[in-house]
A and B are shown apart, each in its own frame.
Chain A
């Protein structure tokens, strides 16, 4: 029973990592950059929900929608203002800029909300469910259901729709994609928009399950989701999903059965092991760059 309960909350935590990892991996796949500010977009999303719902008394569903819109706009603006001017620059310059944007978001949140941890109140309105003596919280149920729906929808979008196919074309070969008439800048904006919308949802779900919010809330899940993306194979959408869920499960089971202090070390040890055996990650493919 303890195992099952640990496993289910691990899947739920992992689903949140997966939602964040999708943003990392899609942006990497399309723009070939690591957007280290992505984790902080989660925090921004959570603060929008906090301000709207906890402070402003808004309906939680509307609050989450507002956060999605806010983060989508924020993500697209970050790309346009900070990353787009560096499209031809060395990847190190882009990486440093991304870290700068991350600090900027954290410090803006510090300025507005101060450093004390806020008590977040859950946006989930589902009651806990008990099956055969095992009680699962509404937050966990909501997180898993929402994540599954999003992952199915995203997979269909990328594989079946015209903009989704254009995205995959850009990810494989920007030059050839342009020759097809695909506006690469437009596709990059779309990617940031989707990634940031997912980050807002992840932020709302995460803070509903673990209800503490501070300007640093996004940092650690951001890093773990990045690990999940690498774990699954950076650039691969199914990889981010599998990597995220596996990482959450490994983390939770380590916490439950080995040591809660060591759980992060175990997570990283597994990552190193996977990368030693398969350097491109579980589902990653070797890709060559073209002009």
Chain B
């Protein structure tokens, strides 16, 4: 496993006495898109929050590129090459689109490189360029999702975590978001994708894990899970 980008080893996370994650282990290989699917409340968001340090596990460990980041504070994670597009977008609604993007590059120093990244984001999301001086709160849901993704890309991550990027979006936007994810993968960025839309997620992922009430219930190649009887029944509505 020389090319493991992210490895989660037996993490347990509690909210008070409630155990939200039980011995969750999985890994993400470099350059892959890995999907994490599961019902509402299964613990997907908790998993991502724990990976980027917003929550601390009671036990277990997390390695990023071989480095133990279990105890690393959340604000030090992004400069280590991991960006997180949180559930519900969480753009800074009172700040402009451009300021949101700049904050995505908060830990980067080189002004010229930041300007280049901004141009790249504007190329991927032309709508953001049109709305660059609007406050983020005035954007539509789909545009906010694009902003949240653009903001994360501004850190030039080697791995991108995305939490339900298609949630609450119209089919047109959903297609656009998924084509962007494919583009991100083509550029060599590793992706850990949490999705409700299991069908779409499994069709672009290489590998997938199924989370059920806080533990990994199934894992495998995405193409295999897509045809698995149990997965189809539980998550694909077929």
Contact = CB atoms under 8 A, between A and B. Distances in A.
Interface of A: 162, 165-166, 168-169, 172-173, 175-184, 285, 290-291
Contact of B95 (A169, A179, A285): A169
B104 interface: yes
Interface stretch (B20-28, B76-84, B195-203, B215-223): B76-84
Interface in B148-185: 151-152, 155
B96 to A, nearest CB: 10
A291 B54 contact: yes
B78 A172 contact: no
Contacts, number: 71
Contacts of A179: 52, 54, 74, 77-78, 83-84, 86, 152
A290 B90 contact: yes
Contact of A176 (B77, B86, B94, B99): B86
6 contacts: A175-B74, A178-B74, A178-B75, A179-B74, A180-B155, A181-B76
Nearest to A169: B92
Given A179-B78, A180-B104, A181-B107, A173 B92 contact: yes
Contacts of A162: 102, 106
A160 to B, nearest CB: 10
Among A165, A168, A169, A179: residue with most chain B CB under 10 A: A179
B93 interface: yes
Nearest to B83: A179
Judged by DSSP, the binding face of A is: helix
B111 to A, nearest CB: 11
B93 A181 contact: no
A176 B104 CA distance: 10
Given A165-B102, A166-B106, A169-B95, A182 B86 contact: no
B43 interface: no
A94 B53 CA distance: 25
Nearest to B84: A179
Contacts of A184: 75
A181 B155 CA distance: 9
Contacts of A165: 95, 99, 102-103
Interface in B80-139: 83-84, 86, 90-95, 99, 102-104, 106-107
